[in-house]
Amino acid sequence: GWCPLSPTGAQTTQLLVEPPWRPAVLWDRVTLTCQGSGSAGATTWYKDRQHWGQQGRDRLSVTMTGPYTCDRPGTRRSPPVTVLDDPLVLQVPARALLEGDTVTLRCRG
């Protein structure tokens, strides 16, 4: 399942992560998908706050660590997703969590 990393907003672009766990780690073969109210296929990607390759595509296979964001014409830039290369991570589901929710944690390395 795809899980948004921020609440849905009319003018906000969503950056979805697969597999749906935070933090995202490079060795998980992370794919990011940009969704929003702007034109499909007109996505602009940013890494480290600078324009990044594969402009126009809605999906990006991550090959480098760092913070990624995206936007589409007429929408604000998405909240960032940071991809790490840590050898050991404690992960939580990449979805909105509320107090009292039962949560599965993953310790992976």
Mean pLDDT of the chain, nearest integer: 85
Q: Which residues, in sequence order, are CB contacts of 8 under 8 Å at separation 6+? A: 14
What pTM does this model have?
Answer: 0.80
What sign has the CA pseudo-torsion 76, 26, 57, 10? negative
Phi and psi at residue 2, in whole multiples of 5°? Answer: -85, 140
Identify the residue with better confidence: 41 or 105: 105
Does residue 39 sit within a domain? yes
pLDDT per residue as tens digits for the range 1-44: 445 444 444 467 889 999 999 999 999 999 999 987 766 668 89
Specify the pLDDT at position 40: 65
Does residue 4 sit within a domain? no
Question: If you count DSSP H runs as helices and E runs as strands, how many of each does the chain have, helices first?
Answer: 0, 12
Does residue 93 sit within a domain? yes
- The domain tally of the chain equals 1
pLDDT per residue as tens digits for the range 73-91: 888 899 999 999 999 999 9
* Residue closest to 89 by CA, chosen among 38, 5, 23: 23
Q: What is the CATH number of the domain that holds 88?
A: 2.60.40.10
Give the structural domain span for 43: 14-108
Residues 94/108, Cβ–Cβ less than 8 Å: no
